[in-house]
Chain A
Amino acid sequence: MLFRLNGRKAIAFAAVPIFAAPNFADAESRMSAETSLNVVAGRPVKAASVPSPAIKSDKPKRHRPSWIWNLFGFGYVQGDCSSWLRAGEVAPPMTVRRYEEISLCFKGFTSTDKPRLQVFGPGGERVQRPMKATMAVDGGLQWFWYSEDAGEVFRRPGVYRFTVTAAHTVGTSGSIVVKPATESGVYFSFDDPIRPGEAVTGTAVGRKPGSLVLASLYGDERDGKPHPKLRLLKDLEPVKADSNGEGVIRWVATKDLKSGTYVMLVEPFVSGGHECDLSCTVFEVKSRN
């Protein structure tokens, strides 16, 4: 089960000070982070590439977001159905990037149809068990994967075939072409809380093939007491980004680890200015001790 970051922003907020540095605060870094941040109902899921402290950018500085966003918020488009596929027709191929949200919207099924969708991977293997649809806002039916869920189902670039079968209406089939991510991002996956032997996985996408993906683990205690600033526990083993520009950092909780709050950071550090969740994740470890 994927971990949702809802309700954890307070902890993430506390984790910021240790990472914050003047070099990160320039307008361009912040903008590139914020503008490519995908949020699912308050759940940040994607990070953008931001120059590390050592790298100077020669791009022109951008403006910061207006003050007005401190007072006002906006409703995200949560899987709106802007275009519809018809039951019984062959759907045109749909192209998405890794970890992009995917929405399939259908019209033409009847209320007694109980349509089910299945997805088959590039090798023909089934990657999505028969899945019920949800009612779309404008009527019709919808299958929707949030970006993290899409990343789990559509695990590698390739052509995925989907079929929709229904009780009383002719089914529909089509294909989803998944391409490597073009924007840098990090997606974390784990069960919360973490227990010894369980893993936290961070998938970095949109990297240069062959480049190193660096990650570190931080703890929230100092001298045995909770501390507002996190301290570095260890640098994790770097991995090389594959030909699709992806690298998976995997850390397994050891038995000797103390219970508490931990943070995994996948470099480069990206901050939206008030959260560390663009490139790091906060999780609880419950040890048996």
Chain B
Amino acid sequence: MAALDWTVKYTAPLLGVFGALLFGALRLAYVFFYLQLHATPQEVGYGYLEILGGQLPGTAELTLLLTVVMVVACLSIGALRHAIAGRWRAMVSLPGRKALLRLTGRCASASLAVVLACLPMLAWTFGTEAKRGYAVRNIYLKIAGRLPVLAVQAVPADVTWTKPRPPGEPDLASRRCLLYLGQAAGTTVFYDVASEDSLRIPTAEILLTIPMAEGVRSECFAAT
């Protein structure tokens, strides 16, 4: 009963605070990505739940992978030091359970810090790629079984009005270098690679086609 009380009293608020901190750190990556495309995460549909839901599994897997690598590296370095000192018995024996747990905890903390620090940098780099016209969507690490890294998207799109073009709205037929960023609250957001501006169009009034392409058309690259 006391354990349950303790859980209700401390764990739930702590989880909330941890979630908020994690959201803040992860959101930074999204901000860095969409900043270059003149949009915000909220405008393209990435709110609290979307960011945590989309990004948390990948972040956890990356942290776990990095933790394992760091623990193995630390153990290897320790073994090497023992070998250099001629302590052969110590070289082949694992540290005690407590020491191993302590090492794992430290490595996990360091890994989380590294991942959270690197994600915004990676996001900025991928934002630059998207700005140049390359399709960026659900980035994954090529090694280690395609671990998801960043759940953002900026993909080439062809857009047409389904109704007569409303006055004041852009001529979508002439926009041939659009990247689709996402949609939220009835508005779809695009980035025009050629003119380097972003468009916000009512979702209900457009027909959106997303070709499976690595980037926008070649003439768009010539324009940049």
- Chain A positions near chain B (C-beta within 8 angstroms): 31-32, 34-40, 48, 59-60, 62-63, 65-66, 68-80, 82-83, 92, 94-96, 100-101, 103, 146-147, 183
Residues of the B chain whose Cβ atoms lie less than 8 Å from the Cβ of A94: 207, 209
* Contact between A83 and B218, CB atoms less than 8 A apart: no
| Contact (Cβ within 8 A) B138 A74 | yes
The digit string for B193-224, where 1 denotes a CB below 8 A from any CB of A, is 00000000000001111111111111001101
Contacts A82-B209, A94-B207; A75 near B214 (Cβ below 8 A):
no
Most interface-central of A59, A80, A94, A183 (chain B CB within 10 A): A80
Q: Which residues of A contact B135 (CB under 8 A)?
A: 74, 76-77
User: Which of B128, B132, B211, B218 makes the CB contact (< 8 A) with A48?
Assistant: B218
Closest CB-CB distance, B144 to chain A, in whole Å?
11
Supposing A32-B221, A95-B160 touch, asked if A74 and B207 sit within 8 A by C-beta, the answer is: no
The reply to whether B139 and A73 contact each other, CB–CB distance below 8 Å, is: yes
**Residues of the B chain whose Cβ atoms lie less than 8 Å from the Cβ of A147:** 212
* A48→B214 CA distance, assembly (Å): 12
Closest to A103 in B: B209
B140 CB contacts on chain A under 8 angstroms: 72-75
Given contacts A68-B125, A68-B129, A83-B207, contact A77 B155 (CB under 8 A): yes
- Taking A35-B216, A76-B137, A183-B217 as given, write out 12 further A-B residue pairs in contact, using a Cβ cutoff of 8 Å, ordered by the A residue number: A31-B218, A36-B213, A39-B214, A62-B221, A70-B142, A72-B122, A72-B142, A73-B146, A75-B137, A75-B140, A77-B155, A92-B162
- Residue B34, interface by CB 8 Å: no
Cα–Cα, bound, A32→B215 (Å) = 10
Residue of B nearest to A82 (CB): B208
Partner of B214, one of A35, A66, A79: A35
Q: Is the CB of B51 closer than 8 A to any CB of chain A?
A: no
Q: Which residue of B lies closest to A41 (CB)?
A: B212
In the complex, per-residue mask of B79-121: 1 if CB is within 8 Å of any chain A CB, else 0: 0000000000000000000000000000000000000000000
Point out the residues of chain B lying under 8 angstroms from A68, CB to CB. 122, 125-126, 129
**How many Å from the CB of A257 to the closest CB on chain B?**
35
Asked if B46 lies at the interface with its beta carbon under 8 angstroms from chain A, I say: no
Whether the pair A72, B141 counts as a contact (CB closer than 8 A) is: yes
**Smallest distance from the beta carbon of B208 to chain A beta carbons, Å?**
4
Contacting pair A74 B139 (CB below 8 A): yes
B139-152 contact mask (Cβ, 8 Å, vs A): 1 or 0? 11111001001000
Q: Is B136 an interface residue (CB 8 A)?
A: yes
Q: Is the CB of A35 within 8 A of B180?
A: no
Complex Cα–Cα for A71 and B129 (A) = 14
- Is B215 touching A34 in the complex (CB atoms < 8 A)? yes
B interface residues, how many (CB within 8 angstroms): 40
- Is B30 positioned at the interface, with any CB of A under 8 Å from its CB? no
A-B CB contacts (within 8 Å), total count = 105
Closest-by-CB residue of B relative to A102 is B209
- A-B pairs with lowest CB-CB distance, top 5: A75-B138, A82-B208, A35-B215, A32-B218, A83-B208
Q: Does B133 contact A (CB under 8 A)?
A: yes
Task: Collect the chain A residues with CB atoms within 8 Å of residue B216's CB.
Answer: 35
B132, closest chain A residue (CB) = A63
Whether B191 is near chain A, meaning CB under 8 Å from some CB there, is: no
Q: Which residue, of B128, B146, B222, has the highest number of chain A Cβ atoms within 10 A? A: B222
Identify which of B138, B141, B207, B218 contacts A36 (C-beta below 8 A).
Answer: B218
Q: Known contacts A72-B140, A73-B139, A74-B135: does B221 contact A31 (CB below 8 Å)? A: yes
Q: Are B214 and A37 within 8 A (Cβ)?
A: yes
Interface centre among A77, A95, A101 (most CB of B within 10 A): A77
CA distance A36 to B215 in the complex (A): 7
Within 8 A of A (CB), among B21-69: none
Q: Is the CB of B218 within 8 A of A76?
A: no
Contact of B139 among A72, A77, A82 (CB under 8 A): A72
Query: What are 9 sample pairs from A and B whose C-beta atoms fall under 8 A apart?
Result: A31-B221, A34-B215, A71-B143, A72-B142, A73-B139, A74-B135, A76-B137, A82-B210, A147-B212
B220 and chain A: residue at smallest CB distance:
A35
A62–B221 CA distance with the chains assembled, in angstroms: 8
Tell me the residues in window 145-184 of chain B with beta carbons closer than 8 Å to chain A beta carbons: 146, 149, 155, 157, 160, 162, 180
The interface residues of chain B lying within 8 Å CB-to-CB of A69 are 129
A182 CB to nearest B CB, Å? 8
